[in-house]
Amino acid sequence: MTELDHPITHQSFAIIDRELGELPLNEKEFAIARRVIHATADFEFASLLHFSPGSIESAIAALQNSCPIVTDVNMVKHGIAGMVAKTFNNPLFAAIDFAAEPLPGKTRTETGLLRCWERYPQAVYAIGNAPTALLALCKCCATAPVPPALVVGAPVGFVSVIESKKALAQLPVAQIRVEGRKGGSPVAAAIVNALLVLAWNDLNPKL
């Protein structure tokens, strides 16, 4: 599989590569940044993405071994479902689907995230919308004997967004984080899709 299967995608990536120029990113980090920029047309993400040491390798190994993927909302889930189907068919869940009603004092995504954690603590978690879900996940990770395979921290907005990302930054877990207020479901989906492509190509190198 290649990210350049479609001519328009090939042309778009060529434009991105030309305008990005040299970046202090390794090859796999660059592939993720490029896909995020392709999804958003926002070159600032090249400097906002933070990769913890070993995070990409941890995610690739987990995805190749059919690790579940948990998203906060259905928009992220739908954004990666196609790539999941083309690659490893990982079990795929949206936390919000686990909470028809929120627990007292919590949001639906936060409630659903806590329920997903009970079932899939070692999953790949992709948060692209709800900072409350990321904060809940951070609290779970802080006391977990075994951390999740990866946390994608990319909620967007103004309320609790920066706080949730700072909480994630303080944890010794594999993480790909978008600094500041920017992020969103397309960003979280783009990160996971890029990881799926990297994981697939790692097992199926080009001849």
Is 28 a domain residue? no
Tens-place pLDDT, residues 52-97: 999 999 999 999 999 999 999 999 999 999 999 999 999 999 999 9
Is 38 a domain residue? no
pLDDT reading at 175 higher than 80: yes
Q: Where are the beta strands (DSSP E) in 7-66?
A: 49-51
Tens-place pLDDT, residues 1-60: 555 466 777 788 888 888 887 778 999 999 999 999 999 999 999 999 999 999 999 999
Residue 183 falls in which region: left (phi positive, over 0), alpha (psi -120 to 50) or beta: left
Q: Is residue 6 flagged as an active site residue?
A: no
Is 30 a domain residue? no
Show the tokens assigned to 194: 């890029």
7-11, 184-188, 195-199: range with lowest mean pLDDT: 7-11
Range of the domain at 84: 49-203
How many domains, the chain?
1
Per-residue pLDDT at 68: 98
Is the CB of residue 107 less than 8 Å from the CB of residue 100?
A: no
Per-residue pLDDT at 205: 76
Residue 90's CATH number = 3.40.50.10230
Per-residue pLDDT at 206: 64
Tens-place pLDDT, residues 123-149: 999 999 999 999 999 999 999 999 999
Give the global pTM: 0.94
Is 157 a domain residue? yes
Which is catalytic among the residues 6, 10, 38, 78? 38
Per-residue pLDDT at 4: 45
Show the tokens assigned to 128: 């692209």
Is 102 a domain residue? yes
Show the tokens assigned to 100: 């028809």
Per-residue pLDDT at 1: 54
Element (H, E) at 46: helix 45-48
